[in-house]
Structure 1
């Protein structure tokens, strides 16, 4: 009880506050972005949906959120914005009851100094309460309330104004006041704030600076105080945004100009952790462990291993939740921690054991979860982000644990078996680093880790990093384990594979041959690794255009895989798909397509719809349909394959580029150049960037884009691109490689289209002779070369050479490709035109009528080939008695350069 003198009571009734009175800390002129909606909501909550006048009824609201999220800033901005609507605005620091009493006492000192100078703190506080009871319409702001119960007396005693509280505490308010949780800034608002603070309001950041600001804002977790602290530091020191990101954990306690040293993020959270530790020491230990995991969706079951008593775990998490240091998922079975909280906690000093707080606990949590032998896919998917988070967050000088390296390997193997080897790079890297430090550079386990990391880079399409790692692993395996040790054989085999992927067949094939011979000798003729070596040597032969050696080897490999591994084993499925590819490369689509269909159906059933090997089978079957002229089945399947590869492998993965290139080829075959050309251009740009300027797939993309330009009549762009591609193919792949032959043939065709027969005829003769020698007389590429040469003879008026060639071509196309294949139709059309030129009108009319009917049935009403065929038939009928007619024949088609199909996964 406090007794006030009569004159003090009278002054409490009579003293009036001047207009706009208050003691607000700071002004409203600072940067305030991204909280307009929250300010509007707060006003509505305090004034019955925003009515202009303050009612006589009490209104109490509490803003709660993580330290540094902007609670005080929002309350201060509200108080400044609406201070003229209140008789008085009084700011009270409210961490303790003593501070609340002191804050009220200071109101008395401000309003009635003549009496307050002689009164004690309790009397002054009592006078302030009396004044507030006599003078309604005020706003009291209780900033940083630690215990909501501390406000209960004041809210009950002061009914005629507005109470606004801010607190790091989310719990304990349900009997005190309604709450308004304050979330993070939106990304754009956070970037705006950071740029304004860093560069000044008068300076517009460049696009590169804004991108860097966006990256830093994300690292800071869109936390307003962290953004303010960073902006002040960057403005004062001139530090680059990117450099600040590298120093992030070390500068969270740095107070630049305008930042109160006690208001840095690290200092604020240190005070919060001190308060939590007083309440529940185990909560801080638990938070330190969670700092080393992924920030989102930490399973409660994972933490239970650390804190097996459910009651104790609930109390520890409750203490963290009460101070907004964690958030719960919707079902409350997972925990989220702010990224910057983790960053600050990770930069605490290491203990005597060399581990920073919580690091060893986090490793033990993950080790226990993985060693439990849980093979449930759902549980693995919940656990994976935290295994990866642990791998990425290892401090530079923290002790090394072999058990943790084994954990990383176990997670990587799970991804490997899911067909997601390209996603294991971070895990494989961490395992290798741990083993190098613990076991040494040439320990067999270290060598295996190095080889596995190379494989992850290879699967991700990063051959520039994969090949040197493979070379190092092989050299060390030969030295440490011996030339024919099984692990050495795997390393040799994998290096050969990487060379082949890079288009370096001169190094790949001898290495494959050596690997196969040694595997047969050491492991036996039908060991799975021997089968893989045989299959991949066949693949290298096929890539070199040597189908005479490739197909028998593929057939042997498939037969052995079926016998040893079973009909639906993944390696058998890959062998089946690759044999189908070899048949297709030989022009034998009658055997290729059924084999592809079987391989796809089995892959979908055994491996799943989006497994990388299933995607390979789907793409290759779609391309075979396209080669057979069945675009109605090819295009939808290619679209599906592309979308799935983008989703599973990424937008610029080499296999995704193959799918994009193939879909463009199908659009071109359908006459849809408006979709084909942009897709080709995108694919070429990505191939140059990802694979390099002279990689075989890049050469294929460049060649196909040139072909599309030619089809569109843009020879000014087509011919230089063809010439570049041919020169690069001769240099990289060799003079008679199938891709080189196709490039030579199509460059000659472009010369012919440009009317340059002096360059076209010799080049076509060379191309035809080489195709016959390398690919055989009936290979589709050979047929296309023969067709183009005949067409050029015809254009030159040499029908004596043209017609016999065209008759041979048509007979071979009908026999090899089928009666309605696009190449067969083009050959029939061109032979008819040559008959027409030679005055054999009846023969020409018969063939042209058949061509038109087949085009209409297969391609649709408006396809360019149909229009040309219809035009040719009309001319032939109108000029049946003429000696010569104008030529508007459909040009002889050339095959699209087929990019290599994907290959089976390698054993590790």
Structure 2
């Protein structure tokens, strides 16, 4: 390691809302905008300050073709946008961000790579991050830690590595981060806010969604002359100049291919590999079978090229085409070779076949050569061909399913959330589920895999993400078992729960109602599954603000469970907790508080002091105490519950977020809004990322943060939050929902207070107005009967 670097004046800097920096003695690092708190040892923080990047440090990927032509104006424009006169690595540049967007295959990544190579010497570090998801961005940052501080990073997890990388970037200015293939621009917010002293360059297919995140630069098709140059260089080789006739043929073929760089590169690779004449290739295109949806030029021209490229690949190695048809149904990035083992069990044959695909630029290898990537347009073209049962694309899907099931067979099926293989393979599970043909049956083995993955997400507090998986499972159960089979009803209950967790009560409630009616008819009124449905429907009613419908249903369910299961059965305790919650929401604290106290005592005895449901009961009782004005006991219980949840469930678990939100509310009620603000900010950032910006829990947190800002004497930040929260609550929950009414009252009070301040020229003693509610109900930590689990 090299010696310590000079500390920027005033220490490490951070900008943007919810961004932080860290000094040498601190042991806490915030990854992103405060969504995740990661504990780092003091020596790791010191290394983040002292370790220097080697000269020319970078992790740039290789070029697919090794040839770059044209784009001179675009490259100059990009440099002009990112760096102005006086901006150099020797004097820390101000943070500048640009996003390059355009059609798939138009050459966005190639332009970014060219820029990175051209100006590599101007930066202290150039780091390339695949950024299709927030998880991939975290992984890319984690890889930086592994490069710069391997002796420590190799022994810790991805979150710690990412936190270390952010600290390092804060201490060492003058770098370039390239975020390649951004799917959701919002995923970059945390990096841009936390890292001000460098350049950010993003590539994306998306032209929208960048407002407020980064200025954009549209990248169009390649110029005709440059397109012909590229074809000639690839097809004939850079050392062999084309004849006049070949140049003319290249110009005609480039026009036929629509000047799309990816199509040009694919054609050039085919021509070079097979020795086919430029003119012959162009004439073959007229007989292509595949056509793009809606006749869009990029996909249609790519389909023409790939139809003949596949023929050439098959002539070299039929197994390569079979593998490509399998790859077409998986996620496009980081496809482990293990998923292809059922198709090609011989590793030598597998390597040879993948080598052929790589030679034709149909795939690219990951840095460790153990995985591969494929352009999603290749997958689209191949999937379109799956129109008959005998087509290789259909067989490819079946082999993709078998490969994924086989790869997961030895994973930790009891606690897959602790198995890194699940996290790596989940994108491929989703890819299969989302592309499931509606007219083809789903194998029981694959349905079980989808179900296991969905339950894994649920245990991680990410049940909302499981909607696509559970939707496919429901369809399979209905088709294979019938509409009222117990397993079908179980799957339907689980899907309704996922809709509810995603904030989609409009879909959740009717599905809960239908499932309950069918379970009552098929299983009987007091079957445990029927009672679960009744509990979950009551919860959905309560969440929708229909407490008058929820209370009698909770009372009936509790009575039945006490009779059928006993007074201390975990399901009975769940009903008792939820009935107390409904009483509280109805304003009946006289019945709610004793019921919460009883439930907490019983859960401590039956489940243990740190069980997640015990933590929920402890927090629910704290909220009831707070509502009753007993703030001392409320804060003590909330602090205890949050500390235990962070230790047991983790900092980013949904239940931990709920407890953090509740503790912030207790601080506000106790007149300590300054302590509440950072808790609300962290919760809001986490919920926006995990649940979305319009989920009811996100909206409640936004409204509560506005209150904390106002009570802290910061109306400039409070008012926009109030206004956006009210508008979204009206749209999502309805104009008369209790939370909407509370938020609207708070907004009105804030406006009155602001007007009074303007008139008097001095701040009022309290931002609350008489009769005004100072907080809408925060996301209540209710306990549903989570998702039902099929028995094996």
Match runs of 1:29-428 below 5 Å = 77-78=225-226, 167-168=268-269, 251-252=291-292, 264-348=301-385, 349-352=387-390, 356-374=394-412, 375=416, 376-428=418-470
Cα distance, 1:587 vs structure 2: 0.7
Shift of 1:652: 1.6
Match of 2:151 in 1: none
Is contact 2:677-2:708 (8 Å) kept? yes
In 2, are the aligned partners of 1:75 and 1:166 still within 8 Å (CA)?
Answer: no
| 1:95 CA displacement | 9.3
| Matched residue SS, 1:688 | helix
Shift of 1:313: 1.5
TM-superposed CA distance for 1:672, in Å, is 2.0
Matches within 5 A, 1:622-641: 622-641=664-683
Is the alpha carbon distance of 1:41 and 1:478 closer, same or farther for their aligned partners in structure 2, counting shifts above 3 Å? closer
Cα drift, residue 902 of structure 1: 2.0
| TM-score using structure 2 length | 0.63
Given that 1:619 and 1:637 are in contact with CA atoms closer than 8 Å, whether structure 2 keeps it comes out as: yes
Distance change (3 Å), C-alpha of 1:333 and 1:480: same
TM-score by length of 1: 0.55
1:567 aligns with 2:609: yes
Q: CA deviation at 1:317?
A: 1.2
Equivalence for 2:577? 535
In structure 2, the residue matched to 1:721 is none
In 1, Cα distance between equivalents of 2:394 and 2:340? 19
Maintained 8 Å contact 2:470/2:494:
yes
Q: In structure 2, what is the equivalent of residue 506 of structure 1? A: 548
Q: Say if 2:626 is the partner of 1:589.
A: no
Q: Secondary structure at the match of 1:864?
A: coil
> Residues 74 and 369 (structure 1 numbering): CA distance in 2 closer, same or farther, change over 3 Å?
same
Structure 2 matches for 1:488-887, cutoff 5 A?
488-713=530-755, 864-865=763-764
Give the SS at the match of 2:388: coil
Give the CA deviation at 1:326: 1.1
**Change over 3 Å in CA distance of 1:715–1:91 after alignment to 2:** closer
SS at match of 2:530: helix
Change (3 A) 1:865 1:139: same
- Contact 1:391 1:430 (C-alpha < 8 Å) held by counterparts: yes
Q: Deviations over 1:81-129 (max 9, x none)?
A: 99xxxxxxx9899699xxx99x97979xxxxxxxxxxxxxxxxxxxxxx
Give the deviation of 1:648 after TM superposition: 2.4
**Superposition RMSD on alpha carbons, in Å?**
4.3
Greater relative contact order: 1 or 2 (C-alpha under 8 angstroms, separation 6 or more)? 2
Alpha-carbon contact 2:662-2:778 (below 8 Å) kept: no
Match of 1:782 in 2: none
Instruction: Provide the rounded CA distance (Å) in 2 between the counterparts of 1:140 and 1:273.
Output: 22
Q: Which of the pair has more CA radius of gyration?
A: 1
Aligned pair in 2 of structure 1 residues 352, 695: CA closer, same or farther (>3 Å)? same
Matches of 1:575 and 1:280, distance apart in 2: 62
Contact 1:93/1:142 (<8 A) preserved: no
CA pair 595-863 structure 1, distance change in 2 beyond 3 A: farther
Distance 1:890 1:255 in 2: 60
Aligned 8 A contact 2:333 2:373 in 1: yes
Tell me how far 1:641 sits from its aligned partner. Answer: 1.8
Sort the Cα spacing of 1:315 and 1:354 in 2 relative to 1 into closer, same or farther, 3 A.
closer
Report the CA distance shift for 1:106/1:573 in structure 2 as closer, same or farther (over 3 A): closer
Q: Which runs of 5+ in 1 are unaligned?
A: 1-30, 46-68, 83-89, 108-137, 146-163, 177-224, 230-248, 717-752, 755-861, 869-888
Q: Distance in 1 between matches of 2:112 and 2:772?
A: 67
Count of residues in correspondence between the two structures: 552
Structure 1 residue 351: deviation in Å?
A: 2.4
CA distance in 2, matches of 1:365, 1:34: 32
Alpha-carbon shift at residue 357 of structure 1 (Å):
3.3
Distance in 2, Cα, partners of 1:39 & 1:662: 44
C-alpha distance in structure 2 between counterparts of 1:690 and 1:414, whole Å: 28
CA contact (8 A) 2:270 2:309 kept: no
> Aligned partners of 2:307 and 2:716: how far apart in 1?
61
